[in-house]
Amino acid sequence: MNSPRFLRVLCVSALSLTASCIKPTPLQVLGDVPQFTLTSETGQPFDSHQLDGHIWVADFIYTTCDGPCPMMSAAMRRIQDQTAVEHPDVRFVSFTVDPARDTPPVLAEYAKRYKRNPNRWFFLTGDQASLHEVSLNGFKLQSVDGSMTHSTRFTLVDRQRRIRGYYITGEDNFQSRLIHDIRQLAREKS
């Protein structure tokens, strides 16, 4: 007769074997981010080709926001920090929706406040029409029209500039889901 301990060990072993044989469902391709050229917080041109070959996370914020933007930037910082060792090649991009006020020096100050890694996290501005094009037509999010309304979603982009996930920042587990999906993309063949 089998002991209860033996049966538990057998069941755990079977579950472990089954779990290791199940392949995760690939993340869907939800769209493509078109090529863009904007201006970074350093005042230098930033071409989206600098992100090619990297997994990256994007959001849309503005520096004078007293609503969701500080929480979004704090969350981006945590994700930057949590991926630093395991995935140092992941990049982060925060686009402003207030280009009239968010000049490169203003974005540079804001970036310091959130202790961003300058090699991994970029803050971008440009003319309103270019930012509108990137947000609405590229990321399929809200327009950049001077109203300061913007999406509070994070977007996960793969190495080929394809959108692979949207994450609502108000959901309790969005950061853990996003990090899980970053790990899954990192395992994908390029």
pLDDT in tens, 92-136: 999 999 999 999 999 999 999 999 999 999 999 999 999 999 988
Give the type of residue at 141.
Answer: L
Task: Please indicate, yes or no, if residue 53 is contained in any of the structural domains.
Answer: yes
Q: What percent of the chain has pLDDT over 70?
A: 84
- Tell me the average pLDDT across 50-56: 96
The answer to whether residues 153 and 169 touch, using CB atoms and an 8 Å cutoff, is yes
Q: Tokens 């947000």, residue? A: 135
The answer to whether residues 95 and 59 touch, using CB atoms and an 8 Å cutoff, is yes
| CA 22 distance to own-chain centroid | 26
pTM of the model: 0.84
Task: Please indicate, yes or no, if residue 110 is contained in any of the structural domains.
Answer: yes
pLDDT at 119: 96
> Would you say residue 152 has pLDDT above 70?
yes
Cα–Cα dist 113/35, whole Å: 29
Sign of CA dihedral 45, 168, 32, 85: positive
The domain in which residue 69 lies consists of 28-187
pLDDT at 8: 54
Task: Please indicate, yes or no, if residue 22 is contained in any of the structural domains.
Answer: no
Bigger pLDDT: 165 or 17? 165
Q: What percent of the chain has pLDDT over 90?
A: 68
Task: Please indicate, yes or no, if residue 15 is contained in any of the structural domains.
Answer: no
Task: Please indicate, yes or no, if residue 128 is contained in any of the structural domains.
Answer: yes
> Would you say residue 36 has pLDDT above 50?
yes
User: How many domains does one find in the chain?
Assistant: 1
Mean pLDDT of the chain: 87
Task: Please indicate, yes or no, if residue 1 is contained in any of the structural domains.
Answer: no
CATH code for position 50: 3.40.30.10
Task: Please indicate, yes or no, if residue 14 is contained in any of the structural domains.
Answer: no
